[in-house]
Copies of this chain bind each other. A is one copy, B any other.
Amino acid sequence: MFEEVPAEEIARQRDLYGPLAQSVRELADAVIRTEADDDEIRVAQAEVEAVTKRLRDRQLAGSYGVRFNAAGQGRAWGNAVVGLRNPIAPPLVVEHDDSGRAWSDFRLGAAYEGPPGLVHGGVSALILDQLLGEAASAGGKPGMTGTLTMRYRRATALGDLHAEARIDRVEGYKTYAVGTISDAEGVTVEAEGVFILPKWARAHVEENPHQVGPIRYE
C-alpha cells in the first residue's frame, strides 16, 4: 500500500502508537502472571473491554498491512515480530548494514514461553524467519519464505537475547539466508531459509527497486 506521509507525521504517529502498544505488552505479561483476587480480575476484564470498545469506534476494516511512501520508507507496524503497533511483537528493532546483514538485541518475557522458563521453539523460528527475510530483503530481492530450517543446539532461556542474519548466496529470484539466536554464552539456535520473490512482484521490483529495500521503521 502506498500512502504519502511526511517523515514528521510518521514520527508523531510512532510516538503516539508505540507507547500504547507497549502498555498492552505489559498488560499481557501481567495477565499471565497475576495472582490478584477474583474480583480484581473481573474488574480488569471489564475495563479492558471498555477501552477496546472505544478504540474500535473508528478502525481499519482489516489488518494493518505494509505502508510505503514515495521515499521508500515502509511501515510494517502490524507485523507479528517487528510491528510498532502490534502488542504481540516483542517488538524487535532490527538494524541493517550495507552488506545485507541484519541483527537485533531484544528481551523475551513470560509471553514467549514454551517449556518452563524457556523460549518456545516456535518463537525462535518466528524471530529468525523475520530476520532472515530482512537480510534477504536488504540484498534487494525481498521475498516470501520458501523453506525455513531450524536447528536447536540447546535450550534458550527467557531473557536478553541477540539474533543476526546474513545472505549466504543469491540464485536468480532465490535468496539463501542464514542466521542465529544467541544468549550470553553463545549460539542456541541456527536457521537457514530460502526467500523467493513472487512472480507477480518481479517486474515491479525491477522497475521500482527503491520501494522494496529493507523495511525501516521511521
A interface, CB within 8 angstroms of B? 1, 16-17, 19-21, 23-24, 26-28, 30-36, 38, 40-45, 47-52, 54-60, 62-66, 77-81, 83, 85-88, 109-117, 120-123, 125-130, 133, 144-152, 155, 158
Contacts and interface: CB of A to CB of B under 8 A. Distances in A.
A39 to B, nearest CB: 10
Contacts of A117: 62-63, 65
A63 B111 CA distance: 8
Contact of A125 (B19, B27, B83, B126): B126
Contact of A52 (B23, B62, B110, B125): B23
Contacts of A152: 144-148
Contacts of A77: 32
A82 to B, nearest CB: 10
Task: Pick the 6 closest A-B CB pairs, nearest first.
Answer: A122-B129, A122-B126, A125-B125, A121-B145, A65-B116, A63-B110
Contacts of A85: 31-32
Contact of A147 (B35, B41, B150): B150
Contacts of A126: 120, 122-123, 125-126
A48 B44 CA distance: 9
A73 to B, nearest CB: 16
B78 A55 contact: no
B51 A34 contact: no
Given A113-B80, A120-B130, A130-B120, A44 B33 contact: no
A115 to B, nearest CB: 7
A115 B28 CA distance: 24
